[in-house]
Amino acid sequence: MSEQKFAGDTLGPLADNERLKDDSNFLRGTISEDLTNPITGGFTDDNFQLIRFHGMYQQDDRDIRAERQKQKLEPLHNVMLRARMPGGIISPEQWLAIDRFAKENTLYGSIRLTTRQTFQFHGVLKPNIKMMHQILNKYGIDAIATAGDVNRNVLCTSNPVESELHQQAYDWAKRISEHLLPKTRAYAEIWLDGEKVEGKQDDEPILGKRYLPRKFKTTVVIPPQNDVDVHANDLNFVAIAEKGQLVGFNVLVGGGLAMTHGDTSTYPRRADDFGFIPLEHTLKIAEAVVTTQRDWGNRSNRKNAKTKYTLDRVGVETFKAEVEKRAGVSFAPSRPYTFTGRGDRLGWTKGIDGKYHLALFIENGRLRDTPEKPLKTGMAEIAKVHQGDFRMTANQNLIIAGIPEAQKDQIEALARRYRLIDDAHSVQRTNSMACVSFPTCPLAMAEAERFLPDFVTQVEKIQQKHQVQDDPIVLRVTGCPNGCGRAMLSEVGLVGKAPGRYNLHLGGNWEGTRIPKMYKENITDQEILAELDTLIGRWARERQEGEHFGDFLIRTDVIAPVHVSKRDFYA
């Protein structure tokens, strides 16, 4: 009875995405036919949506869209591919392979590190798409389920220092990813020339024939670093260790940051703590949360289809009880843990295994070569000699991990030669990030990646003016309200509203456990800087010892705290 009462397909007419998934023959659609269509550089009809399940988004260069239209040409269609790399670990051999592909077969020649702890190719033309998947597969990489209504790339805290604990957590991130992957053979058939097995039907025992109502994001986090921003994700496993060994997880469910301008039925939301489970129940609980959301999530209104809305609609305790019933597992009380920060520990650290790790700040995650900063070439040169691995972080940075002491000087010299280490970067710059936005994202309303560097320079001047340049603020910019830059977990968050205009959100906290609230709507960057000048000045004069900017704004009633998103966010 409970499943019928809360079933997500009884809330109204089904969204069209439900029809196309149902008709897709387990995500095949007519993608293969589209690949051989020379009339257009894009994908047609349902395939535009279906390629997302294969890790790609169709995009075009919006900077030249109008000019192509004048020339009576279609937009310069291409795809962005996001790789599946649970925990963000990539070998030097794999790195050199993706470096070559980006150089030879993309419009922009760059590699983009993302907030999903993986890399993206931007600007792959249709004739090169199949080759791209086959090259990645040759080096043990795929793009299965990094987009679309499925569980996406599983994040894991980048913590090479406590190597044994990190390895245990990373292993679980990989196991969760594999367990929740689509079982359809469509990816292998379309991209890898896999043989069709006659007479055998595909089956999706976890995701179902219509897959999930909406995208689903999962993390494994090792306190005290909340570097994966647990409250941005549907399902989170908080590692609980005893004597340096992983013993289980606290499970947090229902986080998410996306919203829609002008629609107060949408809002960012913190995840709820369901309780503690021992390690042996991890996959059962992961599957039970996913299948409960599969069956109860809203399949009528995609704007309200994420897990966070399901929890608010049916009730947290009701959802939790259903997860326990399906898993045959009861949650124990949560074990204590603390988050103290979420940035990456930049520079050199030494692990308990005696090896060294160098965390590099990559502004906006964009690795490209310019005359001043040949970053992409630098990473390739390091990959040619590095004996360990690389760790992509959820903050768009990169860790060169597992460096023997004898190789430290060589690695640092290469990093400095190619400007991968830049001592001029302020602590404010390294605590700021943005989504891609223009020119490639079709949802972008305002600049983000291209806007952030100069904007941070202006913020730095304000901090120097008030003598707080050594006290960073978590600053994030997104080009639209969909949340890719995680602005809704920042102390200062800019959300694109229109070209050159943003909504200014304030009042998140340093640890990433509080949602910021809108302070000013639809204002320019100069208006934002004027507001920050006043508020940072007050913070410099009136703050308590050790008080972060977001906490100061809450304490002094500059902005009200968001305790319950559904109630407080728009109040």
152 as an active site residue: the answer is yes
For residue 124, the Cα-to-chain-centroid distance in whole angstroms is 21
Cα–Cα distance, 430 to 427 (Å, whole number): 5
Residues in the chain: 571
217 as an active site residue: the answer is yes
313 as an active site residue: the answer is no
- Give the C-alpha distances (Å, rounded to integers) separating 199 from 202, 406, 517: 10, 58, 55
78 three-class SS: strand
CB 156 within 8 A of CB 117: yes
Q: Which of 185, 210, 215, 308 is catalytic?
A: 215
Q: Which of 21, 52, 214, 480 is catalytic?
A: 480
For the annotated binding site for siroheme, the residues are 484
Q: Which of 112, 126, 152, 270 is catalytic?
A: 152
Cα–Cα distance, 308 to 569 (Å, whole number): 14
Half-sphere exposure of 473 (CA within 13 A, CB side): 27
> Of 420, 423, 344, 425, which is closest to residue 382 (Cα–Cα)?
420
> Of 78, 423, 470, 20, which is closest to residue 211 (Cα–Cα)?
20
DSSP E strand stretches across 356-514:
356-360, 366-367, 389-392, 398-403, 432-434, 475-478, 492-498, 501-506
156 as an active site residue: the answer is no
Cα–Cα distance, 194 to 473 (Å, whole number): 50
Q: Which of 21, 82, 306, 376 is catalytic?
A: 82
Upstream peptide bond of 439 is cis (omega within 30 degrees of 0): yes
For residue 35, the Cα-to-chain-centroid distance in whole angstroms is 28
Q: Which of 156, 269, 391, 435 is catalytic?
A: 435
480 as an active site residue: the answer is yes
Cα–Cα distance, 176 to 286 (Å, whole number): 7
Here the tokens at position 117 are 């702890």
> Of 158, 151, 87, 80, which is closest to residue 118 (Cα–Cα)?
87
Torsion of CA 35, 39, 45, 49, to 10 degrees: 50
Handedness of CA 381, 382, 388, 394 (dihedral sign): negative
CB 251 within 8 A of CB 235: yes
82 as an active site residue: the answer is yes
Residue 7, phi then psi, degrees to nearest 5: -55, 135
> Which bin fits 258, alpha (ψ -120 to 50), beta or left (φ > 0)?
beta
Cα–Cα distance, 51 to 57 (Å, whole number): 7
Q: Which of 112, 217, 355, 514 is catalytic?
A: 217
The catalytic residues are: 82, 152, 215, 217, 435, 441, 480, 484
